[in-house]
Amino acid sequence: EKEVNSVAFSPDGNWIVSGSNDSTVRLWDIDGNPITQPWRGHEKEVNSVAFSPDGNWIVSASNDLTVRLWDIHGNPIGQPWRGHEYWVNSAAFSPDGKLIASGSLDGTVRLWRCGWQEWLQVCCNRLHYHPVFQNPENGSDVEIAHQTCQKYVWNPQCPKQLNNQGKQKEKAFSAALEDFKQAVQVNFTSHWKDRLAWQSVPTENQ
C-alpha cells in the first residue's frame, strides 16, 4: 500500500519477499502473485528483507528498531529482536544460515544467532551504517556500506577492528547475496528517494 524498500529472491529463485513502508512483509511467486496474506509484525516501515540460505527463513529489519525472523509461511519466530537504538536499515544471513547481521542508524552493526533474541557481538563506531551483508569469500566477515560511500569489512573475531575498503561510487542503500558462489547483487542509490537497478557482479568462475 506504500513504497517498497527491499526485495529478495529465494535461493531456488521461485519466490520473492518484499518489505514496504506500509510496515508489512509480503511473499510473491515469480509472476508477482501474492502467496500469503501480508505478514504483520512490525510497527513501522520495513527497510530490509532477506532469505536464509536454505530458503526456510526470512529476516526483516524495520524503523521500529527491531529485527524479526519469520518462517516461510509468514509466522513470526519468537518476539522481535531488540537492541538497536534507532532505525534498522539492513539485515542479512551468514552463508551457513546460523548468524544474522543487522545495521542501524544508531551507528552499530549487531550480530545475532538465528533463532535467539539476544545479540552476540556489536561493532560500534557511531557511524551511520547502511546495509550489511556477508562476504561470499569469507563467511565470517561482514561487509558494511556507510552513507559516505565508504565500504568496510568487519571480522567478528576482531570486534574492535574495522577495515576500510575505500570509497564507492554511490551510496549502497540495500544489498543482498542471491547466490554466494555466483554473483553479488547490490542496489545502489545516490539519493534517499532514488532507486537504481540491481547490478550483478560476476565472479571469475562466470
Q: Residue 168: which CATH number?
A: 2.130.10.10
Distance CA 82, CA 34 (A): 29
Provide the number of structural domains found in the chain. Answer: 1
For 106-121, the DSSP string reads TSEEEEEETT-SSEEE
User: 168 in helix, strand or coil?
Assistant: coil
Q: What is the pLDDT of residue 102?
A: 82
pLDDT digits (tens, 9 = 90+) for 89-139: 888 887 788 888 887 777 777 888 876 655 555 555 544 444 444 444 545
Q: Scanning the structure block, which residue is given the C-alpha cell 556507510?
A: 146
Return mean pLDDT, the chain: 69
Q: Residue 51 has which C-alpha cell? A: 532469505
Of residues 121 and 14, more confidence is placed in 14
pLDDT digits (tens, 9 = 90+) for 137-171: 545 555 555 444 455 555 555 544 444 444 443 43
User: 49 in helix, strand or coil?
Assistant: strand
Distance CA 188, CA 181 (A): 21
The parent domain of residue 145 ranges over: 4-202
